[in-house]
């Protein structure tokens, strides 16, 4: 049910690749609540994903940007403010990609060049994004910047691989930049921890399927054995 909670608010949503993407669902919900948004993703994702479908459905302009490129980010936030008619109230960073996970590398045998790329895409892009927003003074006071993290940033989850360090770095950027944005603009910077979800990024993580299936099996087992159901 929509309650116009975001009536008059403007935002940028990163990371909607297909209908399974977390950003896809967020984009649908914020528009349902009255927000106006632009959508963005890496140029390569425009070819493989279905973001155009979402753009048409939500009447949202799509502005391609590689989140590791400062030039692309500067263009994105300039054009977004033009398209939406003013400064931004919220930005969602819903980006993650690990080359080592994708190539099935074990944690004890990682390729460190790929690791740097993973950090750039999944974490440093968050700092880059905020630095561009900061320099352009693109955020309205009391706005909100949000990124998605995972509990493996703080606890051992062996199959999450180098994404664990990536999320730890992401969370640290949120705290540190949050100090500056909060002090200057009262803008809140947060990360929210998503539970395992079968998206393109999520399904690449070894162990997530078992993680999802296990509680269902346990619950079904309890039902059948006259347990908690």
Ligand X SMILES: NC(=O)c1ccc[n+]([C@@H]2O[C@H](COP(=O)([O-])OP(=O)(O)OC[C@H]3O[C@@H](n4cnc5c(N)ncnc54)[C@H](O)[C@@H]3O)[C@@H](O)[C@H]2O)c1
Q: Between residue 143 and residue 172, which ones bind ligand X under the rule CB under 6 A?
A: 148, 150
Tell me which of 6, 12, 22, 31 binds ligand X, using CB under 6 A: 22
Strands (E), the chain: 10-14, 36-40, 61-62, 88-93, 139-149, 188-193
**Rounded (5°) CA angle 202-117-211:** 20
Tell me which of 26, 31, 37, 41 binds ligand X, using CB under 6 A: 41
Catalytic residue among 160, 173, 181, 208: 160
CA distances from 118 to 19, 31, 150 (A): 23, 31, 15
Q: Is the CB of 207 or the CB of 221 nearer to ligand X? A: 207
Q: Is the CB of 62 or the CB of 185 nearer to ligand X? A: 62
Q: Does 197 bind ligand X (CB under 6 A)?
A: yes
By the 8 A CB rule, do 67 and 42 touch? yes
Cα separation, 26 vs 38, whole angstroms? 12
Q: Does 194 bind ligand X (CB under 6 A)?
A: yes
* Total Cβ atoms within 10 A of residue 178: 17
Catalytic residue among 150, 157, 173, 181: 150
Q: Is the CB of 203 or the CB of 217 nearer to ligand X? A: 203
Asked about 150 being catalytic, the answer comes back as yes
Q: Is the CB of 3 or the CB of 155 nearer to ligand X? A: 155
Tell me which of 97, 124, 139, 189 binds ligand X, using CB under 6 A: 97
Q: Is the CB of 88 or the CB of 122 nearer to ligand X? A: 122
Q: How many residues does the chain have?
A: 229
Give Cα 54 distance to the centre of its chain. Answer: 16
Tell me which of 26, 35, 60, 68 binds ligand X, using CB under 6 A: 68
Tell me which of 73, 132, 145, 201 binds ligand X, using CB under 6 A: 201
DSSP codes joined into one string, 121-135: IIIIHHHHHHHHHHH
Tell me which of 38, 94, 100, 123 binds ligand X, using CB under 6 A: 94
Site map for ligand X, 102-131, x if CB under 6 A? -------------------x----------
**Quick one: CA dihedral 14, 36, 22, 171, positive or negative?**
positive
By the 8 A CB rule, do 67 and 95 touch? yes
Q: Give 61's strand partners.
A: 38
Active-site residue set: 150, 160
Residues that bind ligand X (CB under 6 A): 14-15, 17, 21-23, 41-42, 45, 66-68, 94-97, 121, 148, 150, 194, 196-197, 199-202, 208
């Amino acid at each position: 049910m929509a309650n116009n909670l975001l009536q008059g608010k403007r935002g940028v949503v990163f990371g909607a690749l297909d209908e399974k993407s977390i950003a896809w669902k967020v984009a649908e919900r914020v528009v349902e609540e009255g927000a106006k948004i632009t959508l963005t993703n890496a140029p390569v994702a425009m070819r493989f994903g279905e973001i155009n479908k979402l753009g048409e459905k939500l009447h949202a302009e799509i502005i391609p940007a590689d989140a590791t490129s400062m030039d692309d980010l500067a263009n994105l936030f300039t054009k977004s403010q033009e398209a939406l008619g003013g400064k931004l109230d919220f930005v969602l960073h819903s980006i993650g990609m690990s080359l080592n996970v994708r190539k099935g590398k074990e944690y004890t045998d990682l390729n460190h060049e790929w690791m740097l790329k993973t950090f750039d895409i999944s974490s440093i892009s968050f700092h880059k994004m905020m630095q561009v927003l900061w320099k352009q003074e693109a955020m309205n006071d009391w706005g909100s910047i949000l990124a998605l993290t995972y509990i493996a940033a703080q606890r051992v989850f062996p199959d999450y691989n180098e994404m664990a360090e990536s999320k730890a770095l992401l969370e640290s950027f949120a705290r540190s930049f949050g100090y500056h944005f909060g002090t200057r603009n009262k803008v809140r910077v947060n990360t929210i921890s998503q539970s395992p979800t079968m998206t393109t990024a999520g399904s690449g993580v070894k162990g997530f399927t078992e993680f999802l299936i296990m509680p269902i099996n346990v619950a079904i087992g309890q039902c059948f054995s006259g347990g908690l159901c």
